[in-house]
Amino acid sequence: MKKLILFCFLACFFQQVYSQSTDDQLAFQYYQNKQFDKAIAYYEKLFPKNPSPANYQYYLDCLIQTKDYKTAEKVIRKEMKQQPNNLILLVDQGMLFKLEGDEKKTKEAFSNAVHKLTADREQILDLGKAFMDAKEYDYALDSYNQGKKLLGNSYPFVSEIGAVYKAQGNTTAMVDSYLETLLLSPAYIQYVQDALQLSVGTYADAAQNNVVKTELLKYIQRYPDKDVYSELLIWMLEQLKDYPNALVQVKALDRRKNEGGFRLMTFASTCINAGAYDPAIQAYQYVIDRGPKGENYTDAKMNQLSVMYQKLVGGGIYTHDELVSLENKYTQTLAELGKSAGSISLMQQLAHLQGFYLHTDSSAIELMQEAVTMPGVSPLTQARCRLELADLMLADGQTWEASLLYSKVEHDFKEEPIGDEAKFKNAKVYYYTGNFRWTKAQLDILKSATTKLIANDAMALALVVADNTVDSAKQPALLLFAHVELLDFQNYDDSVSILLDSVFNISGTTTLKEEVLLMRASLAEKKGDHQKALGFYSDELTVYPDGMLADKALYLSAKLEDDKLHDQKKAAELYKQLILKYPGSFYIEQTRERYRQLVKDDAQPVN
């Protein structure tokens, strides 16, 4: 009997739940279809049973849409009694009075809502948002300004107030509100930067940038003792990638605050990351000119040389005289600072310059041999020097001496990234010399390397070797291509360019033809011929869309548009194509990250 009673109770309960669930679905379906009369029939039953915020909003909207203002007001008043601290209900009431044409009552309801605010940040934010949703922008401003007073300016509502002015189309007032906030405390600069992020820089239009810059200059003149405005101007110029003018401001601020060049060092790093080498070089020169007693002098000297190296070599267009001039600067700086563990990075750069660009191999090898035995150097740095020495020996034709050095680093740093790198370089030695069986054996081990990049490179090379050794007739092309890759490693671009045509013509596999296309693109990039490089990448994507290097070609195209041509719109489109077409690509993580940075909040994320 008890079981029967329980069964009947449960059956009744589930029937009620099912019935209510069905009513919810029907009510919402009618609401979505704008059949408000039919929806009301359900909501007037559902709402008393389940007075949730959603049911309230749907019910109220249905009443307003059918112009049943009398019932709507009753619903609002009833909710007010039950939720006296819910100020959004006053906004609903005011909007209802507005629909009825009663301006006096509308104003009273809205003003009452602002007046009833307490020192509760969430309540202030909710009311401001409610006014924003209702497009009552003046009352939204009143809410946030009243909130600032109630909270004793502990929360400035920077982005919220700015959003109101932006909605009104008043860019000047928006910027001014942000800048006024900094008078309360310079500590709010991060708030202001975050709020201005979409209004300045290369993503914003020229008019917005001009307004921000004009207002900033006004505040700098009005409050010359407030360094925060100069700091904000520097930040803005950096967003605009106007590094030369930013440098002027950084120097002025450094002198005014007597910072000893520290700010210039930080600014130079920002420029380097953006590929703006000239302003970085000038920033370091400013620190150097302060004299050798300055605490940043040595770092500025060393960093400036590194940037000069990046600018000259990375640009791909240089003369022999420019290389010699840079070599002399390195030699002079090492003579001044001395060869030691602290200057070993300069020794590495100089040796690389001599060995791979000036092709003075003996001088480069001698310098690196000195670095390898330098006292006070950490084991990891010593291993880095040993790898550089091995590279130089390989470039000089001392193949097996190089192999021994690679083997030592591999042995000393097993299961570590630098050990994997050494093993891969050693595998390339056997590859260059045509010992493909041994090459493949080493690459098979490296496929499971802890370093993802090495593992990917090993798999790519292993595929090329396997594809071109399965038939003895294909091996001559692989032998020639391996020799071309050695020449590329040695930086003999002209010889590489000549021989690539031969490789392409005799190759019997698409894997080699793809490699040739990408190497041609790489050569074009090194020479600064970016459009030619893009053409080769496009050929790869057109001819071999399902090839093993298609995703790499697409990624490198995007990087070229992004980093060298600075066409972020094209870059974003190419990154998007990569995400959609090659979701399993090795480059997918960095592609997604950069794509999100480029599109920001203006586009839907790609899944």
Structure confidence by residue, pLDDT tens digits, 202-253: 777 888 889 999 999 999 999 999 999 999 999 999 999 999 999 999 999 9
Report residue 132 as tokens: 């924003």
Average pLDDT over the chain, rounded to whole? 90
CA distance to 64, 422, 494, 560, 577, per residue, from 521 (Å)? 64, 27, 14, 11, 20
pLDDT at 205: 81
Averaged pLDDT, 524-546: 94
Could you give the percent of the chain with pLDDT greater than 90?
A: 71
* 125-129, 151-155, 252-256, 411-415: least confidently modelled range: 151-155
Question: What's the pLDDT at 448?
Answer: 83
Of 605 and 165, more confident: 165
CA dist 107 to 94, 114, 236, Å? 7, 11, 40
Residue 20 has pLDDT above 90, yes or no: no
Rama region for 68: left / alpha / beta (φ>0; ψ in -120 to 50; rest): beta
- HEC-encoded secondary structure of 113-148: HHHCCCCCHHHHHHHHHHHHHCCCHHHHHHHHHHHH
pLDDT at 21: 56
pLDDT the model gives residue 342: 93
Query: pLDDT tens, 311-325?
Result: 998 877 889 999 999
Mean pLDDT of 333-356: 96
Q: Is the pLDDT of residue 12 over 50?
A: no
Confidence (pLDDT) at 593: 94
User: Per this entry, what is the length of the chain?
Assistant: 607
pTM of the model: 0.78
Contacts of 504 (CB under 8 A, 6+ apart): 512, 513, 516
pLDDT value at position 606? 45
Nearest to 461 by CA among 436, 486, 480, 483: 436
Copy the structure tokens of residue 255: 């002198």
Q: Which whole number is the average pLDDT over 46-51?
A: 83
The confidence score (pLDDT) of residue 208 equals 86
User: Is residue 401 pLDDT above 60, yes or no?
Assistant: yes
Nearest one of 533, 532, 537 to 550, comparing CA atoms = 537
Q: Which residues of 433-470 are buried (b: 16+ CB within 10 A; e: fewer)?
A: beebeebbebbeebeebebeebbbbbbbbbebbebbee
Tell me how many degrees the CA angle 251-254-257 measures, rounded to the nearest 5: 150
- Please determine, for residue 333, whether its predicted confidence score (pLDDT) is greater than 90: yes
The arithmetic mean of pLDDT across residues 287-312, rounded, is: 94
d(CA 535, CA 540): 9
Rounding to the nearest 10 degrees, give the CA dihedral for residues 443, 444, 447, 449. -80
Q: For residue 38, name the pLDDT band (cuts at 50, 70, 90).
A: confident
Torsions phi, psi of 492, nearest 5? -100, 80
Give the tokens for residue 110.
């809205």
Choose from 190-194, 273-277, 332-336 the range with maximum mean pLDDT: 332-336
pLDDT at 192 over 60: yes
Task: Summarize the confidence of residues 567-589 as an average pLDDT.
Answer: 94
Give percent of the chain above pLDDT 70. Answer: 95
Domain boundaries, the chain: 1-47, 178-240, 499-607
**Is the pLDDT confidence value at 603 over 60?**
no
Among 356-365, 449-458, 539-548, the least confident range = 449-458
Per-residue pLDDT reduced to its tens digit, 70-87: 998 998 999 899 898 999
Give the other-Cβ count within 10 Å of 587's Cβ.
20
pLDDT at 195: 84
Structure confidence at residue 280 (pLDDT): 97
> What CATH fold (topology level) applies to the domain 499-607?
1.25.40
